[in-house]
Amino acid sequence: MEQLNGNEPFTLHGSDTSIILQDFWRWSCSDLLNNTQRGVLAEFLVHSALGAKDAVRTDWLPFDLTSPSGLRIEVKSSAYLQAWSPEDTYSQIIFDIAKKLAWDGATYASKAMRNNDLYVFCVFTARTRDVSILDLDYWDFYVLPTSVLNEKVPEQKKISLSSLLKLEPIKTDFSGLPAAVESVRLPDETT
């Protein structure tokens, strides 16, 4: 799929309506603290940090991104602040790690599994709303091979940040993300 630039016009009966695609994006995607949008933003941040190959996000793949070296990456995000909560109320940092049925565009796989090589867990750490979600100084990234989850918590569906930390993921900031991802060794790789 070709990337759009946002200047594409909406038309009616072949005429320009003065509405452009960027208007839709502003209207639908501006609340980046919203759980759904924050998740897509986290995918974009990991994609951007890695220089990933995917030109356009694809919803239906069994994983979120492919690294330049071919690693299949699942991106998860969480935040202390939620769009819907009062400012002085913080959410517990929890990530979905449940096994899923992969979809190939026609059918679902017969067995649920974690369909990726590694996870990047993204945490927006701000605890006040005056911090911009676009400020990458307020994002922490934790990189963990899927094999560790499969070995240590094979049937677990969710994991808290404190439990994740016990599995010793690689913690990094945005600039260290490429090195952290590429340092992951899969179970069948030799060091």
- Please give the average pLDDT of every successive group of 10 residues along the chain, which has 191 residues: 89 95 92 90 95 76 90 96 82 95 81 94 95 97 97 97 98 98 80 42
What confidence score (pLDDT) does residue 188 get? 72
Pick the closest to residue 66 from 27, 20, 117 (CA basis): 117
What confidence score (pLDDT) does residue 191 get? 42
What confidence score (pLDDT) does residue 189 get? 56
User: Which residues have C-beta within 8 Å of that of residue 143, sequence separation ≥ 6?
Assistant: 118, 119, 120, 121, 169, 170, 172, 177, 180, 181, 183, 184
Q: How far is residue 120's CA from residue 11's CA, in Å, rounded to a whole number?
A: 40
What confidence score (pLDDT) does residue 56 get? 78
What confidence score (pLDDT) does residue 54 get? 65
What confidence score (pLDDT) does residue 96 get? 97
Q: Domain spans of the chain?
A: 32-182
What confidence score (pLDDT) does residue 167 get? 98
pTM of the model: 0.90
Q: Which two tokens stand for residue 141?
A: 């990234």
Pick the closest to residue 41 from 88, 78, 92, 6 (CA basis): 78
Q: Quickly count: other Cβ atoms within 10 Å of residue 22's Cβ.
A: 13
Q: How far is residue 69's CA from residue 83's CA, in Å, rounded to a whole number?
A: 35
Q: How far is residue 140's CA from residue 66's CA, in Å, rounded to a whole number?
A: 20
